[in-house]
């Protein structure tokens, strides 16, 4: 009986820590999506911009690249959550570009470049 009490406190602390660290579904932005690279080339840059904007903004991959056949999560961290339509542009290592216009990110969770 005493052994159970000794284990109960550490197990409860681990469970509480896991709940605090785990991502919360309610805090995820509905526009978050998975970018899938089926281009056959390495994507070196990716840009996501409101369809109403004339500017691409910063590269959402940062210093990372997206190898052919791989996928990565793109998360929204700010901006008006009522905006759903975005243009998405990728640039490959060889300089080829691809653009998808007016993607409704409120209605899709994956975006694939072929």
Q: 3: buried, middle or exposed (CB in 10 Å: 19+, 13-18, 0-12)? A: exposed
Say if residue 79's pLDDT is above 50.
yes
Query: Taking residues 76-88, what's their average pLDDT?
Result: 84
* pLDDT value at residue 76: 86
How many residues in total does the chain contain?
114
Confidence of residue 27 (pLDDT cuts 50, 70, 90): low
The tokens for 43 are: 């994507």
- All structural domains of the chain: 25-113 (2.60.40.2890)
Q: Report the share of the chain in percent with pLDDT over 90.
A: 66
Say if residue 18's pLDDT is above 50.
no
Among residues 26, 39, 23, the alpha carbon closest in space to that of 73 is found at 23
Q: 51: buried, middle or exposed (CB in 10 Å: 19+, 13-18, 0-12)? A: middle
Residue 107 to residue 30: CA distance in whole angstroms: 8
Give pTM, 2 decimals.
0.74
Say if residue 32's pLDDT is above 80.
yes
Say if residue 7's pLDDT is above 50.
no
Higher pLDDT, 69 or 1: 69
């Amino acid at each position: 009986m005493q052994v159970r009490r000794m284990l109960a406190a550490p197990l409860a602390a681990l469970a509480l820590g896991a709940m605090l660290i785990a991502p919360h579904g309610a805090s995820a932005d509905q526009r978050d999506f998975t970018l899938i690279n089926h281009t056959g080339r390495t994507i070196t840059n990716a840009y996501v911009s409101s369809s109403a904007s004339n500017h691409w903004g910063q590269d959402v991959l940062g210093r990372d690249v997206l190898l052919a056949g791989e996928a990565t999560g793109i998360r929204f961290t700010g901006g008006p959550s009522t905006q759903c339509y975005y243009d998405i542009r990728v640039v490959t290592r060889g300089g080829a570009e691809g653009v998808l216009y007016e993607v409704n990110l409120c209605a899709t969770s994956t975006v694939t470049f072929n």
